[in-house]
Structure 1
Amino acid sequence: MPLTPSSVRLQSAAVSDTGTHRSVNQDAAFTAPWGGAVADGVGGGPAGDLASAAFVHRLAAGRVGTVDPETLVVSVRAANWDLRAHVERDPSLSGMATTFTGVFVSERDTVLLAHTGDSRAYLLRDGVLTQQTRDDSYVQALVDRGLVREQDAASHPRRNLITASLSGGERDRVVVAEHEARTGDRWVLCSDGLSDYVPHEDIAGAVAHRSAPEAAAGAVALALEAGTRDNVTVVVCDVERGAPESFSAHPDASFYGAAAARFTEGFESA
């Protein structure tokens, strides 16, 4: 991906915690001046930590530039194919899959939001936190049909059943939406270890009026205090503007969770 000068950059931080009820962290995340993402290995399937880590590394390692929507879709497809390659090398991994939610600086000085699964993206703008993604889940479908109340969704016994993910399949899809990049905006990405256990208003309180590192750590702490039974990962990306050369001063991605534990050598850029 060639570097394209941009006046928009992201000042980001992330925290990922295995939690007290899990022995393996199946969440993976990355942050960089040009993007940030969280991926959550699908529970119940094999090697969820491998799926999330492999996808995040393939998507992020070596990337240093802005994207347009079409290029982002191609990059996601390439990372998804890498999951299929793992399965082809080791058939015991068949069925491994991951969610994915990420924000990326576009070459048009906007923010691209990419999403599949039930990891979430929130936008904090002018002090108001709004959810920007729709959960690809069985329970969300019930909510959409009026069969389950929104306030009951988080406690529904089948809340972890998702209807879309990335598994290396030809029909896997990611929704990409373009958003205005407004200075002072804060994007908050999280796995369902946070959103399933902490109410919206409490998440809003945790991520407002703090630095990005403090916000990420505070949100994760809330999930742990709430007794989350899952891994929990929070990525906080603040939209800033500056000279184009400052965008490329430190382009490399930082990795968290399963992505920090696996593939520390990274992958070559596609």
Structure 2
Amino acid sequence: MPARLRAAAVSDVGEFRAVNQDAAFAASWGAGVADGVGGGPAGDLASAALLHRLAAGSPETRDAEHLASRIRWANWDIGAHTRRDPALAGMATTLTGLWFGGSGELLLAHTGDSRAYLLRDGLLSRQTRDDSLVQALVDQGLLSAEEAAVHPRRNVITASLSGDDEDTVSVARVDAVHGDRWLLCSDGVSDYVPHDELERLLVLAPTPERAADWVVRVALDAGTRDNATAVVCDIVPAPERVSPEAPVFVGAAAARFLEGLDSA
């Protein structure tokens, strides 16, 4: 049976940041979170520009190669901003997103340290590998996962989208199983909410809207010092005939570029 996403997104600037550099969108055909790279200029512009370019125009995504091409085009748009204004040089963003392909397959795109988790049959599993300094140290056996979680350089990432032709992003095909629940989140959530607590929240929440709200609230209550963003997507049956819905944007993407967005 054909599937679609029932998706909801929530983002909060948090108590310790003046600007929300997280951006997210949710729609029946796709969803994503992008986190502007801290320490660089205009992270909010980078994350919002990327997601709006990806969500603009037709929502159709044929396959993994087509999605990778769309991401490269959106990344070029970040570079265009930098070429117009050299003061923006160095701005960059992470990306973690889900899209349905033309044959009904689900595609997972990822670069940076935003994360995707899958809740299936009550068990939560992490579906992305952080592109980060501490993850590399864990892979080399130099740090434990527990040490990495509190390492002072845990937010140093090794891959992002900055408008450079050399930027990389992975696109993987994953199963679209009815009843699955996906969480896409920024590190303002994953650095502060333990895996077991994320699992508990996602199991208990009756809807994606409630789940996304709970996850962000718990991150804030845990004292996150970053922006906190959660996108929760349920895999549900798709009606035979449905018009593509316009995406809902939150965070930086709700504050920038909404004018002129064509979702038809």
Which TM-score band (shorter chain)? over 0.9
Contact 1:57 1:266 (8 Å CA) reproduced: no
1:255 pairs, out of 226, 242, 249, with 249
What's the offset of the Cα at 1:34?
A: 0.4
**2:235 aligned residue:** 239
In 2, the alpha carbon distance for the partners of 1:198 and 1:29 equals 19
What letter corresponds to residue 152 of structure 1 in structure 2?
Answer: E
Q: Which runs of 5+ in 2 are unaligned?
A: none
Give the structure 1 partner of residue 208 of structure 2: 212
Matches within 5 A, 1:44-59: 44-59=39-54
Aligned residues: 262
Q: Is the 8 A contact 1:67 1:104 kept in 2?
A: no
Secondary structure of 1:244 counterpart: coil
What TM-score do you get using the length of structure 2 for normalisation? 0.96
**1:242: Cα distance to partner?**
2.5
What is the rounded CA distance, in whole Å, between the counterparts of 2:212 and 2:33 in structure 1? 12
Distance 1:197 1:243, change over 3 A: same
Give, in angstroms, the shift of residue 152 of structure 1.
Answer: 1.7
The secondary structure found in structure 1 opposite 2:158 is coil
State the distance in 1 between where 2:116 and 2:228 align.
14
How far does residue 65 in structure 1 lie from its aligned partner after superposition?
2.4
The amino acid of 2:230's aligned partner reads V
SS of match in other structure, 2:174:
strand
SS of aligned partner of 1:245: coil
How far off its partner does 1:268 sit? Answer: 5.4
Q: What letter corresponds to residue 124 of structure 2 in structure 1? A: L
2:141 to 138, 146, 152: 146
Provide the rounded CA distance (Å) in 2 between the counterparts of 1:159 and 1:254. Answer: 30
Moved over 3 A (4+): 266-269
Q: TM-score when scaled to structure 1? A: 0.94
Counterpart residue number, 2:219? 223
2:53 touches 2:74 (CA, 8 Å); kept in 1? Answer: yes
Say which SS state the counterpart of residue 241 (structure 2) adopts: helix
Q: Which position in structure 2 is the counterpart of 1:132?
A: 127
Q: Percent sequence identity over matched residues?
A: 60
**Counterparts of residues 29-108 of structure 1 (less than 5 Å):** 29-108=24-103
* Deviates most, 147-156 or 96-105: 147-156
Structure 1: 5+ residue stretches without partners: 1-5
Matched to 2:74, the amino acid is A
Q: Decide whether the 8 Å contact of 2:61 with 2:67 is kept in 1.
A: no
